[in-house]
Amino acid sequence: MNITLPQHRSLRTTLALTGVALLLGACAAPQSPSTAAAPAQPAGGHGQSAFLGSYDGNRDGVVPRAEYDAIRKQRFEAGDTNRDGVLNEAEYVAEFEQRLKQQYFSEGRQPDKAYEGSIKQAHVRFAILDRDRDSKLSREEDLAVADKTFKSADTNGDGVVSRNDPPAEPRASGGNAAP
């Protein structure tokens, strides 16, 4: 909750890198043919490949808005284990960890440093998502971020995230990003 902005940034970068690393790891594992049918990667992060890795549930390389919204809703509902309509930090992180565990299991990996880092990042993400800082992630808060996330991945603005979307300019290079 006491997260400062600079810390934010570096963690976000780490997050993105971890996402890419996990995806690369997944791609470079031809010894497990079952990965083709594996659920979407839990790795968070930014950028198109992280996005596709996380939300392309049927692995066809394309994430239409409806697929994205459905997965997001499904994760929210799966995470709300006490059924009070919101996710607290423990619920949010537990839902993420469940998917992360599944990924490690399907890749035959043991929890490692990256695993711990991903869990830490999930805590950070919760703080970002919980915009009004009441320690509860409401569906509205999730939707607000979901909308932004989708639009920033859909760089050509056709309502579908795919490899046809040109990568966005790294934020660091342009001081005055559009609002």
| Cβ at position 132, least distance to Ca ion in Å | 5
**Interface with Ca ion includes 95 (CB under 5 A)?**
no
**Interface with Ca ion includes 84 (CB under 5 A)?**
yes
Of 178, 161, 159, 160, which Cα lies nearest the Cα of 169?
Answer: 178
Q: How far is CA 132 from the centre of its chain?
A: 20
Q: Dihedral through CA 59, CA 98, CA 78, CA 37, nearest 10?
A: 20
Radius of gyration of the chain measured on its C-alpha atoms: 16
Residues 151-170 that bind Ca ion (CB under 5 A): 154, 156, 158, 160, 165
Phi, psi of 40 (to 5 degrees): -55, 150
| Cβ at position 34, least distance to Ca ion in Å | 29
| Cβ at position 151, least distance to Ca ion in Å | 10
Residue count, binding to Ca ion (CB under 5 A):
13
**Interface with Ca ion includes 140 (CB under 5 A)?**
no
Q: Which of the ranges 26-34, 74-82, 96-104, 142-150 carries the binding residues for Ca ion, by CB under 5 A?
A: 74-82
**Interface with Ca ion includes 32 (CB under 5 A)?**
no
Question: Pick from 73, 120, 123, 136: which binds Ca ion (CB under 5 A)?
Answer: 136
**Length in residues, the chain:** 179
DSSP helix/strand/coil, 160: strand
- Cα separation, 175 vs 22, whole angstroms: 29
Residue ranges binding Ca ion (CB under 5 A): 80, 82, 84, 91, 130, 132, 134, 136, 154, 156, 158, 160, 165
